[in-house]
Amino acid sequence: MDQFRFNKILILIGALSCLLLSTVASARHLLAAPVPLELTQFCSGTDNPTLCVDTIAPVLAGNFDPVRAVEGEINATLQKASEIAASISKQLEDPATAKEALDALNICKTQYDDMLDSIKEALNMVVQMNVMEAYRKMSAVISYKSSCDDAYTESPGVEMPFRQEATTLFQLSGNCVTVLNTIVKTTTV
């Protein structure tokens, strides 16, 4: 078989594979449980409503409960922050990590340790129905994340290896802050 024909067959196989994968993904989406209208409304005021719905929907069962919804979003934030913190620790322990990155990683380790504490405290505050304090704790998460980002900005030539994950963390924590702020405004007015 000549090279030209072989390449055409490979392209055809690749295109068919992509089509099959997108069809399977669409079918899964269609088969997924419908999202309750209350959840869609709950997430509509956030900067990332799709992410909000996607992270909360799996933890809801039965009737919509805003407290469980907030807990779900905070838990998703905690999970993402835990993953990043583990990645930072692993990089700090790796002898192959560039010396130029160590300062930024050490700052981020401190920030993420504080962040994890703050998220856990926010979760505890939601359970106690202290939404205002939960709001403050989740707002602090964004500050900790920004301090870590700044450490990389101030380290010329050093790339943040978890930038995409940190962006998702920022979106999750922003969703929490928005939802908590909405609850605070509607309950204190």
pLDDT in tens, 80-126: 999 999 999 999 999 999 999 999 999 999 999 999 999 999 999 99
State residue 5's pLDDT score. 58
State residue 69's pLDDT score. 93
In degrees, rounded to 5, the angle at the alpha carbon of residue 185 between the alpha carbons of residues 184 and 186 is: 95
Per-residue buried b or exposed e for 113-152, using 16+ beta carbons within 10 Å of the residue's own CB: eebbebbebbbebbeeeebeebbbbbbbbbebbebbbebb
Q: Where are the domains of the chain?
A: 1-32, 35-188
What CATH number labels 35-188?
Answer: 1.20.140.40
Percent composition of the chain: helix, strand, coil (DSSP 3-state, to 5): 80, 0, 20
Distance of CA 62 to the CA centre of its chain: 25
State residue 3's pLDDT score. 59
Q: How far apart are CA 158 and CA 153, in angstroms?
A: 8
Amino acid at 3: Q
State residue 26's pLDDT score. 43
State residue 36's pLDDT score. 81
Category of 129 on φ-ψ map: left (φ > 0), alpha (ψ -120 to 50) or beta: left
CB contact set of 39 (below 8 Å; sequence gap of 6+): 53, 56, 57, 60, 64, 69
State residue 33's pLDDT score. 62
CB 97 within 8 A of CB 73: no
State residue 184's pLDDT score. 84
For the chain, which ranges sit under pLDDT 50?
6-8, 10, 12, 14-31, 189
